[in-house]
Every structure is written in structure tokens, then in C-alpha cells.
Chain A
């Protein structure tokens, strides 16, 4: 899950959504709580202000908050609660010393029921209703000197209470249960939980779907990449419908796949060609030995068989050697490079092929000047021998082969030019390809492996150089090797 981008995305979604929902819920709850208490407090104040009842000359409570101290004395001199004990007014007063009916009725069902108490200056309860047991006379911190008394709100247990100072330093307490508000809060919490849960679920589901949408191209790309194996390298990622962000990745992958396919194709072709080349000599050996073993051949005929097999085996050895050379060069197997004179190597090679040249009535001309280079001398002699034998074999009697080595400040050049049959321009493109033969029949007779020029090219390129061919049919061919100095 945590190794999956989609899983992590989903986790982040969930965390963020949860934080948002929780803070939203908490804010909503706090606001509601605040509003509730505000309302309760306003209500309690209204109730509290109904003590003492109006008509006793005291002012409405809001005047208590006035800053005008000098207008206060009439109020403070008023002792309305003492009327409780004046007979004629008692009945009326008693009615007034109850909670207002709207308040009592509204919260009649709550537990505890709404209550109030009025304490005299001496701490005696002057009047009360439903006062929870154990309620002691509250302390009112405000003193006369401090200014007008401030109603004090407190929450006691599940009840909200208001204490204010009444006339004559009496204290009035009004309280009621918070039950309805708690119920409402619970309801809200429940509602918030349900709504939050639904929002969370919808959000997560949406996130899942969106992340799947977002991951779809990646999934498709990986599916394509998975489908690409050695046996099926031609598949490509569809770039047409890929988003811009992923198109680049897809292009890079496709380019890699293309290179891979090319390499595999080349390898396959090479293996097929190599095995094809080996089939013929193997066929010769098998067919001839089987025939020799099956029949009764004379000693002379058996000798012929052995000679044939020997030739075939030689051809196979040459081919295997050529393949090994190519493989070594391809693998970048390094030999210790040495500093040597290319013209000396060229002269040695020329000496080696001279008998072949005179056998084919071809003149070999040398035009070499000293040219020191860094490289593997053995490999260069292989290149030069290869080019020289080709130049002799594909020449005409009385023809010419010219070998030149020169060096200037920029590069060392070696050229092998002949006056032979030439190579058509369309064949020129392919002469360095492995197993490519311009004249198959002639090449077969000469026992060529079809790898000679490929090997030359590989060696020259491994030395940082380039080999090129220029040829005119019927005029001759010129191979040129150019090695930059200080490579």
C-alpha cells in the first residue's frame, strides 16, 4: 500500500479530507455551542431581571450597567423583597417570586427543573423554587464601590446558572438544566458524523476513481512494457492518447524499445547468418563421410573424401575465427595498445600477399611513409591483409593494387586501391554488413566468410577511425581508412 503511488495518494486524500472535515465540524460545533450559551444567557438574564418585579421603583437591569453612579442610590435603597413580609401585598408578591411562567413551562420537562433562589444580605434564602440541594449562597464579587453589579454566568454540572445582585445586596440565582441544548448538541454531533462520514466516503471514492484515471496511462504503459519481451519487441506505447506529462516518458521508453528491437534483430540476423554459413561445410562433411562409410570407396576416393572434409573444416575454422574476432571487438575487449609504425605493418602485409598477387597476375604498388599510431598492430595487419586480398581477388589479370600510407597533422590515412571489377553503388552501401557478398559465387569459391570487411570496419572504428569505400564498376575500388591523430 505504501509502496503504491495510488495508495499513498489515497492516504493523503483521506488525511486531508479528515482534517478539513474535523475542523469544519469543530468550528460548527463551537459556533453552535457559543450561540446556545448566548441564547441561554440572554434568557436567564431576562428571567433574572424579572426579580424583583417591576413597579417597585427600581429600574430595569440595563440601567444597572450605566456608568452614572449617582443615579444608583434609589435602586439600592429599594428593598423589594422585604415586601414578602408585608401582608397586603404578599399574595401578589409571592406570585412574583416565582419563575416567569413561560420559562417554567418551557423547561418543565427538564431535569432538574428550572430553579431560582433569592438570598438576602445575610445569606438567608428569601425565596426559591426547585433549588437543587446543596446550593449555597453565591458570592457576588462586585462590591458597591466597583460599580454596577455584573451578572455572573456559570455552568454547574449540567446546569447553567446566573447570579446577580439584587436590590439591598440580595443575590438572585436563576438556573436551568442544559438538557435541551445537550440533546441538540448530540443531535448535531450525530448529524456531523453521518454527514462527515458520507463526505469522506464520497471523497475517498472520488479520489480512488480520479487516481485510477490518473494512473491509467501509467498502467497502460507498464502493461505495454511488460508485453514487450524478446519474442515480441515490436509493441510500442501509444503516444497519441498519452497526456503531455507522460508523453515524454513514453517517447523515451519507445526509443529504448526501438533500440532494443534493433539490437535483437541484428543479433538474430547475425546468428541466423552465421548458422547458415556453417550449414554448408557441415553438410559437405556429413554427406561425404556418410557416403564414404556406407559404400566401398577406393583408397583414392577416400583420400578425396578426406580432402573435401579438410577443406570444409578449414572453412568452418575460418568462419569461427572471424566470428570470434568480431565478437571480441564488439564486446570491446581491449588489447594493450602500443605505438607502432603503420607503414611497417603495411610493408609486412604487402610481402605476405605478393605471392598471391603474382599468382593472379596483379601488380602490387607501395607508397608508404612513416606513420606512427597508437593501436593494436595485429589488428591493423588483419585489416590490411583483408583489403589487399580482396583487391587481388576481385581484380583482373594485369591489374594493379596500390597500397598507400600517409600522415599529416590531423590524421593518418591508409588507402587500398585496385583496378578491379568494382562495386555497384547499391552494393557499396552494404559491403560492410556482416555476411553481405557482392558476388556470391566468386566469394564462395574464394572461401570468404562474408565477414572480412565487417571485421575491418569494427577494428577501424574501435580505434576511433573511419573506413569508407569508393568504387566504379569496371574501373576499380578504393578503400580508405582515416584515423584522427591523438585519439
Chain B
């Protein structure tokens, strides 16, 4: 899952990015509203974490422009805790609103919920035959036995699971699994898919040659 964090406070931006990366997300960052809007319009993010008090373009302006083109889930993360601000943010198209200082667990849970809702999966657990994926704990079990996946492998399974029965193109995989700093070697995805197949069975992921992958279980 790939996130965009727009935050003008350099330390907080760094801390947020690292926290989200450690939670298994691919994270892009932007230090002002203009850069944030540009990135949000260029890439397909699974969610955007947006501060309100931003230089150049403030959070509301970014949200307004973004909503004209995209329905990317947006979580406003701000020190502004007044009721008016929260209402204005949510009415302006934000999907969630969290006030600083925040708890790490709450931010992560809210982001998971946002991504889940955007994928049309209200539950945090996705069952695919004997394979079960729990988004809250980021674990995959097969026949109730835990399967040991790397963070990338888990992210790929999660992406495919959220689009279960749909074709997930290689571009989509690159877009959602790697952030702007990653070297996206074209065979990296194939390596991950091969590893997942080793752990979850050959038929778990179906290959559409030249197009992409899907979970059809």
C-alpha cells in the first residue's frame, strides 16, 4: 500500500514516513501543499495523510483540487482541533480527521480502515479459500497455521486480496508497493510472486501473462 504524507514540519514528516514504512507502507512525502497536490494528482495512492497548515497551498486547497480529479482516501492530520475545522475538513472531502498529537496505533488503524473501505471490504479479515489475511495484524494464515511472509510479500498479497477476482496489473503493483525512492527493477515483482507461491501454493496467484496477476480463489 502506498501513502502520501504532506507535512511541513520536517521532523514530523520524517518521523511519520518512517513510522508508516515500518508499518509496511510505501511512503512518499511532500513538504508543502503544492508538492503534495502535484504528487497526489500524479500517482495513485491508497491514502493521503494531509496537514492543514501548509505553506503555498493549505490543506483545504489541496483537498479541494484533489477531489476534483481523484477519490483517493484522505486523512487530515492536524493540530487544529476546533469543531469548525473538523467539520470543514470532513465536508471538504476528507475521509477522516485526526488531531495531533496522535497515537501511532490509532493513525495506523484509521489508515487501514480507510484503505479497506476504499476497496469495498468492510472487514479487516479477507478469506480466500483456506488462506486468511488479517489486515489488522498484517498476518496471513493457511488452514489456521501462520504463514511467514516478508513485508513486501504481505503487501503484495494484501493488494491482490483487496482486488480479489480482478486483474492487478504490474503498473498497479509498482504504484502501490514501491515509493518514489525505490529502485523498481522489473523482475522484483516476479521474485515476490514466486516466493508467495512457494509459501501459499502454486495456484494461489494466477498469472495473466503480459498483463498482471490476480487471486481467483
Contacts and interface: CB of A to CB of B under 8 A. Distances in A.
B69 interface: no
A72 interface: no
B32 A290 contact: no
A291 B104 contact: yes
Interface string A428-456: 00000000000111001100000000000
B80 A294 contact: no
A279 B53 contact: no
B9 interface: yes
Top 5 A-B residue pairs of the complex, sorted by shortest distance between their CB atoms = A290-B104, A279-B79, A291-B19, A441-B55, A283-B101
B102 interface: yes
A291 B15 contact: yes
A294 B21 CA distance: 13
B11 A441 contact: no
Contacts of B9: 280, 284, 444
A282 B10 CA distance: 14
Nearest to B102: A283
Contact of A440 (B10, B19, B55, B105): B55
Contact of B104 (A287, A312, A441): A287
Given A290-B104, A291-B19, A308-B15, 10 more contacts: A279-B101, A280-B9, A280-B12, A280-B79, A288-B18, A291-B18, A291-B104, A294-B22, A441-B55, A444-B8
Interface of B: 8-12, 14-16, 18-19, 22, 31-32, 53, 55, 79-80, 99-105, 107
Interface string A259-282: 000000000000000001001111
B12 A283 contact: yes
A445 B18 CA distance: 19
B55 A294 contact: no
Given A282-B101, A441-B32, A312 B19 contact: no
Residue from A280, A281, A282, A311 with most neighbouring chain B CB atoms (10 Å): A280
21 contacts: A276-B79, A279-B100, A282-B100, A282-B101, A283-B100, A286-B103, A286-B104, A287-B16, A288-B18, A290-B103, A291-B15, A291-B19, A291-B22, A294-B104, A301-B18, A439-B55, A440-B53, A441-B8, A444-B9, A444-B10, A445-B10
Contacts of B12: 280, 283-284, 287
A275 to B, nearest CB: 8
Nearest to A288: B15
Contact of A308 (B11, B31, B55): B11
Contact of B15 (A276, A287, A294, A295): A287
A288 B32 contact: no
Interface string A343-356: 00000000000000
Nearest to A280: B9
A312 B16 CA distance: 14
Nearest to A312: B11
A284 B101 CA distance: 8
Contacts of B8: 440-441, 444
A286 B102 contact: yes
Nearest to B77: A283
Interface of A is mostly: helix
A123 B24 CA distance: 146
A20 B31 CA distance: 89
Contacts of A288: 15, 18-19
A254 B58 CA distance: 38
Interface of A: 276, 279-284, 286-288, 290-291, 294-295, 297, 301, 308, 311-312, 439-441, 444-445
Contacts of A286: 101-104
A283 B11 CA distance: 10
A465 to B, nearest CB: 34
A276 B53 CA distance: 11
Contact of B19 (A276, A287, A439, A444): A287
A282 B11 CA distance: 11
A308 B19 CA distance: 13
Contacts of A279: 79, 99-101
A445 B55 CA distance: 12
A288 B21 CA distance: 12
A312 B11 CA distance: 8
Contacts of A290: 19, 103-105
Nearest to A277: B79
Contacts of A276: 79-80
A410 B11 CA distance: 49
Contacts of A283: 12, 79, 100-102
A281 B12 CA distance: 8
A109 B195 CA distance: 142
Contacts of A294: 22, 104
B193 to A, nearest CB: 26
A287 B107 CA distance: 10
Contacts of A444: 8-10
B8 to A, nearest CB: 6
Contacts of B31: 441
Contacts of B99: 279
Nearest to B31: A441
A288 B31 CA distance: 18
A288 B22 CA distance: 11
A295 B23 CA distance: 9
Contacts of B10: 444-445
A440 B14 CA distance: 18
Contacts of B100: 279-280, 282-283
B102 A295 contact: no
A439 B101 CA distance: 24
A291 B102 CA distance: 12
A287 B53 contact: no
A445 B31 CA distance: 11
Contacts of A301: 18
Contacts of B11: 281, 284, 308, 311-312
A445 B105 CA distance: 28
Nearest to A297: B22
A439 B8 CA distance: 12
Nearest to B16: A287
A412 to B, nearest CB: 38
Nearest to B56: A441
A288 to B, nearest CB: 4
A308 B17 CA distance: 13
Residue from B8, B31, B80, B104 with most neighbouring chain A CB atoms (10 Å): B104
A284 B13 CA distance: 9
